[in-house]
Every structure is written in C-alpha cells, then in structure tokens.
Amino acid sequence: MKPCAVVPVYRHVRTVGAVLDALLAADLPCIVVDDGNSGDEAAQLGEVVAARPRVELLRQPQNLGKGAAMQAGLRAAAARGYTHALQIDADGQHDTADIPRFLELARAHPDDMIYGVPVYDDSVPRARLYGRYATHVWVWINTLSRDIRDSMCGFRVYPLAATLRLLDGGPLPARMQFDTEAMVRLHWRGVGFHAVPTRVVYPQDGLSHFRVLRDNLQISWMHTRLFCGMVVRLPVLLWRRSGARARGARHWASIGESTSVGGILFLLYVHRMLGRWPFRCAVFPVVFVNWLLRPGLRRASLEYLRRIHAFRQDARAPGAMMTLRHVMHFAETVLDKLLATGGRYPRDKVRVEGREVLRQQILSGRGAVIVTAHIGCQELCQYLAETSDVMRLNILMHSRHAEKFNHVLERLNPFNKVRFTEVTEFGPGVAMLLADRVADGECVGLAGDRVPVDGSAMTTATFLGQPARFPVGPYVLAALLDCPLYFLCCIREGDGYVVRFQELAHKVSLRRAERAARLAEYSASYARAMEAMLVRAPLDWFNFFDFWKQGDEQAPGT
C-alpha cells in the first residue's frame, strides 16, 4: 500500500495549511488541487504549498468544481504510483486526528473504500443536517442496500485501481454530486465499503460553496440518472446481493444496528411540532426503504405473521404488504418508546393489569424477577416503575447492538431511575449484586425470548404451534435469588397501551433430579403468556430475525 492525500482547494487558503500539516504528520505526501483560485488567493496557495515538503500543487485553469478537482487529483495520484488516495476537505471541518484510523482500515481492506460518517456537534446547520437524509434514502434505493451510510462526507480513502477504472468508464459529475455518484457507481462494480464515524464541525466564519437552487437541482438530476441506471442493472445487482449473503440463520446479537441519532431526533421533533400523522408521513419513506432493502426482515416478519394468523385462526392470510404494515407498526412503537422515556407519553392512555399482585410482593420486603419480551413498548413499563412509590427496577440487557438508540434514550431522560446492567457475560459478581438488591425489595427484569449471546443453556417450549428455544436464565436467576417470577408485557390496545403483570411462579424450584422438566415447564408458561398477549395485539412482536431457528446458529464472537 502506497497512500497519498488529495486536497481540492477553492477559496480556503486560510485553513488549508493546518490540514496539510496534519497530513504530513501522518506521513502522507499531498497533492493539492487549485480549483481555479484567482489573484491573491492563488498566490497565497502557492506560498502555502512551497513552504511544505512532499506537497505538490496542481492548478485547474478555472473553477470547474470539486468533482473535477478530485478527478484530476486522483488521476495524478495514480500516475505517480500511489495505490490509495485519502480525500479531505480544505476547510478544516474534518477531524484530522482520525487520519490514522482511515489509513489503518484501508490497509486491512485494500480493495474497498473507507468513508467517513459525520458525527456533528451543535454547530451544524439544521437544514443541512436534515437535507442529507433525502440523499441517504436515494443512495440506499440505488444500491439496494444500506452499505453506504453517508455518501456526502468529503473524508474518505479511494482504492485507486478500482477508481481509475470507474473514471475511464465514462464522465462523472464535475461539482459536489461527484462524491455521492462515485460511491454509488463503485458499489455497482462490487467495491466494498467500511465506515469510520468522525467528528465534523461547522466554524462560525466558515465559507460554504453550496448553492441551494443550483446544487439541489443537480443532485436531484443525479439521483434520477442513478435510479435509471439501477433499474437497468437490477438483475445483476439482485444476483450479486443474493450471492453475497449467506442464507443460514444468524444469531440475533450479530445483526447490526441501523440507527441514525440525527434521524431519530428529527422524527421526534416532527411529532412534537406537528403531531402523529405528520410523523407517520415523515417516517414512512425510511420504513419503506428498510423494508425494501432487508429481505431477512421481510422473511422473519412473514414467518411470524403466518404463525400468529394460524394460531388466531384468522380468515385472511398475511402477505407481503402485511409485513410492511408490521414494520411501520414497529416504527410507531419506537416513537412511543421515546415519548415514554422522556416522560411525555400520556399516562391516562396506559392501563395496568395485575399490578397489585407484584405490589404486595414488594411491600412484603422482598423483590422479584420479572421476565419480559420484545413485545410492544417495554419503555412504558420502565416509565411506570419510575413513577411508582414502591417499585425499583434493575434491567439486565445486551445493548451493544443498539448503542446509538440507547444514546437517544439517555439524551431524552438523563435522570432515568431505572438501572441497566450489561450482561453479555453473567458472572458471580453480578449474581451477588442482584441478590443484595432483591433482598432490599428491588426487582430484576430481563428478556426471556432471545437465546444467550454466549451460547449457554437453553430449553424448548411450543410457541405459536412450533417448538422454539428459550433461555433458562430467568428461571435459574429466580431460583438462585429465591424469589417469585413474574411476566411483564406492554401491548398496544386501542389508542393506548395495556401493561400486564402475571405471576408465573411464586417459588422457582430446580432440584437436580427434576431440573430439565421444571425448566421446560417454566418456559412453557412463559410462552403461553406471550401467546395470550400476541392474540390481543398481533403486530406487537418485534423479533425481526428467524426466531424459530435461534440456537441453531453460531453465537457472535465464537
């Protein structure tokens, strides 16, 4: 690998020097492309370059645009024998401390593109931030994937061999839309992509070359052309996509998170300002693209819907459009999760069933183990716990696949009284801590519908007419802590929610001689409790993976 840096410059002479110093400190020779600067600015840029070793200056005869400047710089880099070119803007918005991370990832994946995903601070103009999402959605459509999370960040590493083949294959845009079109067309050619989250700032005195009318029209025309190109290539793209993904079962914890913090906050803002129907209109394109580009999600949804249809003996069999409705239902529940976490969901729309049974247990001075499921809006249960005069709740969870979404929850309610414990690994220390809390009258909550991340013990119970594997953790924990076991679930009903507490066992006994049979019995009781709630709210099931095959796959990291 022989990398260099390509830096296009137009009227950013004041800031480019610091950028070049950071690149040289990373041992990168630099090619600076003067994109038609004139007069004093051209002279000053020449002085900046002359004062630094290993920096070459290319001059464009006139201002042709960032895309034209980058194409000239990439061709020059390839002609000089470089294998990779790191692109970075000259305006100082990018965090140059991340340069080694980009290069390290490029060395690990020399045939792929390494690209930045912006992490903005409060300096970002809101119109620019939200406007990017239109391009994101079109890129996902035109690549039939979510492989490219951001196509507009000017901080990336090009593999020059594949890029030169692209440039020689036909003209690319000369202005700002080059960054996006180059990525889409490289994706069509089978180039892989790897993202690097990187901080991006907008200085108060920063100079932007974005022209709202001209550039938006050019970007719209670019997306139109790319969409037509995608349609022509559709058979090849679908074939490549089907061949790239194994059809075997995937462990639920290995499914990557597809969350945008900025996107979630924007949709929450739409609801707060305009209400639920404008929120539905705003979120539908996002839901549709995810539904369209994730065949595994559609398959898992349809399998569940067919099982609950047969279990309920519904007259109408579910089809593909019902899976879209299922995912849209989930998106609305995500909104309610955010509202509940921020204390904004109306409490008069929440009805509680069976709370008094658990309340009496807590008033007796000893806590309980509460087993939940990925059904409905569990955050409303946490909300009720926070507002309860007696209930204190500790939630065990595997959250590494949902870190960004949990970050949103923390921003909405930084003073959350519910305590969370990461349990990718459950050891004696955690058990002793929980025993002390249960002895103090606190409750411990954990999900019982997903097999363990570490591949530890499971049991089997019939669920919706088919054998399914369940973790034994909730029942072992209740026996270990010598406390009752309760089922807790929250489902949508009418224009609100119903929260249900149900005692599964007043005392969990796991004597060695009958251990396996007792675990199967407790698991069956849990499965029946879930079935009863799903009969009432069939769209509230949010396990979007091959649930009935979990346990067959290899756990992540093994």
pLDDT tens per residue across span 119-167: 887 766 666 666 677 788 888 888 888 889 898 888 999 999 999 999 9
Inside any domain, residue 329: yes
> Residue 352 pLDDT > 50, yes or no?
yes
Res 87: pLDDT: 96
Q: Which residues contact 127 (CB under 8 A, 6 or more apart)?
A: none
Alpha-carbon torsion 384, 477, 356, 447, what sign? Answer: positive
Residue-wise pLDDT for 364-405, tens only, equals 777 888 898 889 887 776 656 555 555 666 666 554 444 454
In terms of domains, do 238 and 307 share one?
no
> Residue 215 pLDDT > 80, yes or no?
no
Residue after which a domain boundary falls, among 229, 244, 259: 244
Residue after which a domain boundary falls, among 183, 218, 244: 244
In terms of domains, do 296 and 407 share one?
yes
DSSP for 1-57? --EEEEEEESS-HHHHHHHHHHHHHTT--EEEEE-S--HHHHHHHHHHHHTSTTEEE
Q: How many Cα atoms sit within 13 Å of 275 on the Cβ side?
A: 1
Q: Please state the pTM of the whole predicted model.
A: 0.53
For the stretch 274-305, what's the b/e string if a residue is b when 16 or more beta carbons lie within 10 angstroms of its beta carbon?
eeeeebbebbeebbebbbebbeebbebbbbbb
Q: Which residue, chain included where needed, has tokens 């959250």?
A: 399
Q: What is the mean pLDDT of residues 65-91?
A: 93
Beta partners for residue 541, in sequence order: 375
Contact 367, 437 (CB under 8 A): yes
Res 557: pLDDT: 40
> Residue 426 pLDDT > 60, yes or no?
no
Q: Give the other-Cβ count within 10 Å of 309's Cβ.
A: 17
> Residue 554 pLDDT > 50, yes or no?
no
Mean pLDDT across the chain = 81
In terms of domains, do 238 and 287 share one?
no
Residue-wise pLDDT for 231-278, tens only, equals 776 666 555 555 554 444 444 344 444 455 556 667 777 777 888 888
| Cα–Cα dist 330/269, whole Å | 18
> Residue 462 pLDDT > 90, yes or no?
yes
Res 253: pLDDT: 41
Res 70: pLDDT: 94
Q: What is the SS3 assignment for 380?
A: helix
Residue 25 lies in domain: 3-244
Q: Which residues contact 122 (CB under 8 A, 6 or more apart)?
A: none
Inside any domain, residue 446: yes
Q: What is the SS3 assignment for 155?
A: coil
| Cα–Cα dist 96/441, whole Å | 51
Inside any domain, residue 432: yes
Give the CATH number for residue 74.
3.90.550.10
| Cα–Cα dist 97/168, whole Å | 33
In terms of domains, do 236 and 266 share one?
no
Res 269: pLDDT: 75
Res 414: pLDDT: 45
Inside any domain, residue 197: yes
DSSP state of 256: P
| Cα–Cα dist 538/465, whole Å | 15
Q: What is the mean pLDDT of residues 459-476?
A: 90
Higher pLDDT, 21 or 215: 21
Res 39: pLDDT: 85
In terms of domains, do 324 and 219 share one?
no
In terms of domains, do 130 and 166 share one?
yes
Res 264: pLDDT: 66
In terms of domains, do 182 and 214 share one?
yes
Q: Is 265 exposed, middle or buried (0-12, 13-18, 19+ CB in 10 A)?
A: middle
| Cα–Cα dist 8/66, whole Å | 7
Percent of the chain with pLDDT over 70: 78
In terms of domains, do 173 and 311 share one?
no
For 250, list phi and psi in degrees, rounded to 5.
Answer: -115, 140
Inside any domain, residue 127: yes
| Cα–Cα dist 11/221, whole Å | 27
Residue 494 region, left (φ>0) first, then alpha (ψ -120 to 50), else beta?
A: left
| Cα–Cα dist 304/463, whole Å | 11
Residue after which a domain boundary falls, among 199, 218, 244: 244
Which amino acid type is present at position 193?
F
In terms of domains, do 160 and 279 share one?
no
Inside any domain, residue 67: yes
Res 308: pLDDT: 94
Which amino acid type is present at position 146?
R
In terms of domains, do 40 and 112 share one?
yes
Inside any domain, residue 260: yes
Residue 206 region, left (φ>0) first, then alpha (ψ -120 to 50), else beta?
A: beta
Which amino acid type is present at position 403?
E
> Residue 171 pLDDT > 80, yes or no?
yes
In terms of domains, do 448 and 491 share one?
yes
Kindly state the helix (H) or strand (E) to which residue 336 belongs, with its residue range. helix 320-341
Q: How many domains does the chain have?
A: 2
Res 254: pLDDT: 41
Res 423: pLDDT: 53
DSSP for 498-522? EEEEEEEESS----GGGHHHHHHHH
Inside any domain, residue 558: no
In terms of domains, do 198 and 283 share one?
no
